[in-house]
Amino acid sequence: MPKDGGIGSSTKRREDVRFLSGTGRYTDDINLHGQLYAHFVRSDVAHGKINGINADAAMAMPGVVRVFTAKDFEGVGGVPCGWQITSIDGSPMQEPKHPVLAEGKVRHVGDPIAVVVAESLGQARDAADALEIDIEMLPAVMDMKEAIKDGAPKVHDDLSSNLCYDWGFVEDNKDAVAKAIADADHVTTLELVNNRLVANPMEPRVAVGDYDMANDEHTLYTTSQNPHVIRLLMGAFVLGIPEHKLRVVAPDVGGGFGAKIFHYAEEAFCTFAAKQLRRPVKWTSSRSEAFMSDAHGRDHVTKIELAMDKDNNFTAIRTETYANMGAYLSTFAPSVPTWLHGTLMAGNYKTPLIYVNVKAVFTNTVPVDAYRGAGRPEATFQLERVIDKAARERGVSPIELRRQNFITEFPYATPVAVEYDTGDYHATMDRVLEMADHAGFEARAEQSKKNGKLRGFGIAHYIEACGIAPSNLVGQLGARAGLYESATVRVNATGSISVMTGSHSHGQGHETSFAQVVSEMIGIDATQVDIVHGDTSKTPMGMGTYGSRSIAVGGSAMVRATEKIIAKAKKIAAHLMEASEGDIELKDGQFTVAGTDKSVAWGDVTLAAYVPHNYPLEDIEPGLEETAFYDPANFTYPSGGYACEVEVDPDTGKVDVLSFSAADDFGNVINPMIVEGQVHGGVAQGFGQAMMENCAYDADGQLISASYMDYAMPRATDLPMFKVDHSCQTPCTHNPLGVKGCGEAGAIGSPPAFVNAVIDALHRGGHKVEHINMPLTPDRVWTAIQNS
Amino acid sequence: MNSIKLRVNGKEVTGQVEGRTLLVDFLRKDLRLTGTHVGCDTTQCGACVVHVNGEPVKACAMLAAEADGAEVATIEGQANADGSLSVVQQAFQDHHGLQCGFCTPGMVMAATALLKENPKPSEAEIREYLDGNICRCTGYHNIVKSIMAASGQDVPAMAAE
Ligand code: FES
Ligand code: FES
């Protein structure tokens, strides 16, 4: 049993006390003296030419301080994109300018045209109604395949077409894959849509800009998963503010799920306007505004082919995807359908030949970027769906077909450029079947049948690449940043510790789990360790939290820094005990000399470091503070088996999820309680994608689902209790904690399990339905039954 | 402007509010009780739930002027007199019923109201009662567990683990 507060214990979260007592400090809770309120006036058409904006009447309204339009941003940079993709023909992707406020044209519903800044929010809103904006509607570019045809209207007039890039991976395999497919004994083909989603963290985005004239210093408070990234992008590319004059603070953040990774125009606006107006400027997104201004997720249209030999061994996979970029390139948008998707197409299976083609397309929709899982759910979904279809076509069990093709030897180099270090896919499959009582399924299905219902069992197995990422590798792949993580461990004179981490917690509980790691390494109580994050003026340059990277990369940086601390502390202890450094051991916060009964406590050593009266000053400096930057050697590869049992009412198409089981291999686990919570939340979001959520546009580009009345969020009544297990552990081989990351697994592995279960149920009822596009609403399921 | 006088967490407060000022804005901006959150603009999410005269109310769906003379309780007033967490708050910490914490004040206020009405709710009753509260982080699993535990019911027996 791990001790409470140590690695492996379900230590209760310290941050909960402030969240539960209403004393958390979220960005909207920050109000600065003299602050003004910004109200963004957004396009209500998908595509149009701005003929003119007349702000005279608005300016004359009570409380209005200023109305900003694109004219005010002349000489200011556009919102940058952080990743460049190269097309098959060697050309760089087409990269349009993304102005802070729309210049000349509006390109999606929600595109900001003007901002009214006033003494109160009510006054800003009232004045917005008095703004006269003349927009000439243009035809909306909505369908991706139509958009890249010759003569289609263009989202960006200065680009050659609406095609952002045409990416082939691995291009050298293309012909061999084509041949393997032509020669195969059997090829299963599936066409599907990965539905557009909105991340919907419960806290809407907020930005508060502040400017200190005396020191020429800017501060931005923002709802971000990565304040240093925002500082870098906004400072260097948009506003031209050097880092030492720009502080970005992301205090308590109410969920992110990807949508708060990106640098947004509103952040740049508030920072810019605060200097212009010499007063703090605050913007708080409404939920309706969030639907049309937060980056969306997914939105792929895909065709996948799976080739097999006569014994059902997989011989090749070919996929073709159209990936919606929306109207502009959001920060990491180009990387999602490519490097976060193509590299995962091998899944858990030893398919020797794989070719992935992705066409990224501009449309008159909100920009699309990473959402929980980002590319990996899209890869997993198509693969796990096509395998189920193949099993049916070949008359074999989908479980056995998976098992037969599982990778069993590690390390395993896939044909899509990544090398899995560890895994045991049979173990997670065994475990999930046991948890789901697969053996008893047929009897339960019989019972459902008697009740006029169709019961189905769905299985999915996933792999993900987490802990992003080796900087030199991502640099070759087009990233315009490194993806290391940092930590500073500051030991105070009395032995307490502040750890400054570049990663950011917005629900993940780092303040608790990170403290578990450091305190265990030293052998002191976890309450002696504080975790500081979310403020560029306090933490070393770090890349933030996304891609399930915090413990694997940020945690590793913290371990490295703590190791440096321990090494130095041992030198001090050796001096104090007049022993040789090599004989010093640290256990439970006591330094001892091997083979003797000499000892000195952690606190004595830390005090000596800061009151160095008796100290090896000729060898080492006083003080006890160390920083480490950790750049991972590889991705980590969590994997797992998910099983879902559903009951379908064939008369109404309604689906009830009866049980959901998840057996994950996350490697070593620091805090099981937190890890399980991450899986619950991920599975709930996967459920949302599979069964309820859909970000819908009409043909004219109107966003139909722009509130919680129209966008169906999973509620407590929609979900069952989940069975989750992480006892199958193959520790990561290349990071010091042996951890793999757990934040996205649920959202990656679960959608195909839900859909496979429904399709299984329909087949059991004699309905030959091969696929239904998500979300599997009663209407869609019923229609599929009727058409079968 | 309307003058209003009400009791919030047992203390008398007064304010000057516009006719259109929502109770949630009065609490957050005028009283600086920022524990009550705003997660939507269509009264769908429940992040803003407070108690008005003992009943759970979405504070974004009520005007501040309507609360004149009322007894309002918010998350800031839930802890015990000695500062320790209330039974419901403590159960949320014990069972990891929160992650980012943004929906949490509304969840705690809703759960507290539920247990007053129905001291031993079933899992289904809890889920039904929380229908107006959205959580994007937890998948509700641990929220349901927390409320079960707060009601003194056996959690491991209920949770499918
Ligand atoms: S803010 Fe009140 S219900 Fe969403
Ligand atoms: S804990 Fe984040 S929304 Fe519920």
Q: What is the pLDDT of residues B119-152, one digit of tens each?
A: 999 999 999 999 999 999 999 999 999 999 999 9
Q: Do A22 and B99 touch (CB under 8 A)?
A: no
> DSSP class of residue B130?
G
Query: Would you call B47 an interface residue with chain A, using a CB distance cutoff of 8 Å?
Result: yes
**Amino acid making up residue A542:** G
**Does A618 lie in the same domain as A507?**
yes
A642 & A721 share domain: yes
Q: Which of A630, A660, A693 is the last residue of a domain?
A: A630
Q: What is the CATH number of the domain that holds A610?
A: 3.30.365.10
**Residue A283, domain extent:** 31-138+202-255+260-291
Provide the β-strand partners of residue A314: A308
Whether residue A563 is contained in a domain is answered as yes
Give percent of chain A with pLDDT exceeding 90.
95
Phi-psi group of A772: left, alpha or beta (phi > 0 → left; psi -120 to 50 → alpha; rest → beta): beta
Q: What is the pLDDT of residue A121?
A: 95
* Same domain (yes/no): A446, A578: no
Neighbours of B52 (CB within 10 A): 18
What is the second-level CATH architecture of the domain B2-76? Roll (3.10)
Considering only alpha carbons, which residue of chain B is nearest residue A284? B38
Residue to mutate among A13, A15, A20, with most B CBs inside 10 A, is A20
Rounded CA Rg of chain B:
16
Asked whether residue A661 falls in the same domain as residue A581, the answer is no
Residues A608 and A707 in one domain: no
Whole-angstrom distance, CA of residue B112 vs CA of residue A360: 49
How do strand A314-326 and strand A353-362 relate by DSSP bridges?
parallel
**Strands lying side by side in the sheet with A314-326:** A163-169, A353-362, A314-326, A300-308, A186-194
Residue of A140, A78, A148, A152 whose CA lies nearest to A109: A140
Residue A651 in this model has a pLDDT that exceeds 50: yes
Break chain B into its structural domains and give their ranges. 2-76, 87-150
pLDDT bucket at B159, cuts 50 / 70 / 90? very low
Q: Which of A122, A683, A708 sits opposite B42 (nearest CB)?
A: A708
- Number of structural domains, chain A? 3
Amino acid found at A468: I
- Residue A708 and residue B45: Cβ atoms within 8 Å? yes
**Cβ distance of B160 and A723 shorter than 8 Å:** yes
- Contact at CB, A707 and B96, closer than 8 angstroms: no
Rounded distance from Cα A385 to ligand 1 centre (Å):
37
Question: How far apart, in whole angstroms, are the C-alpha atoms of residue A266 and residue A281?
Answer: 11
CATH number for A53: 3.90.1170.50
At the fourth CATH level, the homologous superfamily of domain B87-150 is [2Fe-2S]-binding domain (1.10.150.120)
The residues lining ligand 1, judged by C-beta closer than 6 Å to any ligand atom, are B 38-40, 43-48, 58, 60
pLDDT of A110 higher than 90: yes
Residue A446 counted as domain residue: yes
Nearest CB neighbour to B144, from listed A204, A682, A716: A716
**Ligand 1 centroid, distance to A708 Cα (angstroms):** 10
Which protein residues are within 6 Å of ligand 2, measured from CB?
A 202, 255, 507; B 98-104, 135-138
Choosing from B58, B131, B133 the residue with most ligand 1 atoms within 8 A of its CB, the one to mutate for a pocket test is B58
Residue type, B94: D
Strand, coil or helix: B61: coil
* DSSP per-residue string spanning A704-736: S--STTTS----GGG--PEEEE-------SSST
- Asked if A22 lies within 8 A of B141 by C-beta distance, the reply is no
Nearest CA to ligand 2 atom 4: B135
Nearest partner of A292 among A715, A714, A709, A704, judged by Cα = A704
How far apart CA A135 and CA A69 sit, in angstroms, is 14
Of A21, A31, A674, nearest to B75 by CB-CB distance is: A21
Same domain, A738 and A758: yes
Q: Is ipTM strictly over 0.95?
A: yes
Q: Does A20 touch chain B (CB under 8 A)?
A: yes
Shortest alpha-carbon distance between residue B87 and chain A (Å): 11
| C-alpha A329: how far from chain center | 17
Tell whether A506 is covered by a domain: yes
Q: What is d(CA A549, CA A555) in angstroms, rounded to the nearest whole number? A: 9
Query: What pLDDT is recorded for position A469?
Result: 82
DSSP secondary structure letters along A223-286: --S-HHHHHHHIIIIII---GGGEEEE--B----TTTTTS--HHHHHHHHHHHHHTS-EEEE--
What is the predicted pLDDT for the residue at B156?
67
Cβ of residue A535 closer than 8 Å to a chain B Cβ: no
A128-187 residue pLDDT tens: 999 999 999 999 999 999 999 999 999 999 999 999 999 999 999 999 999 999 999 999
Closest residue in A to B33 (Cα–Cα): A22
Question: Mean pLDDT over residues A760-769, rounded?
Answer: 97
- Mean pLDDT, chain A, whole residue set: 96
Q: Do A120 and A83 share a domain, yes or no?
A: yes
The Å distance, Cα B42 to ligand 1 centre, comes to 7
Angstrom distance (rounded) from CA A661 to CA A642: 6
A625 and A642 belong to one structural domain: no
Q: Do A460 and A539 belong together in one domain?
A: no
Distance CA A165, CA A329 (A): 12
- Distance to chain B for A600, nearest Cα, Å: 36
pLDDT at residue B161 above 50? no
- Chain A residues touching residue B47 (CB < 8 angstroms): 202
pTM, rounded to two decimals: 0.96
Kindly state the tokens that stand for A68: 């900003």
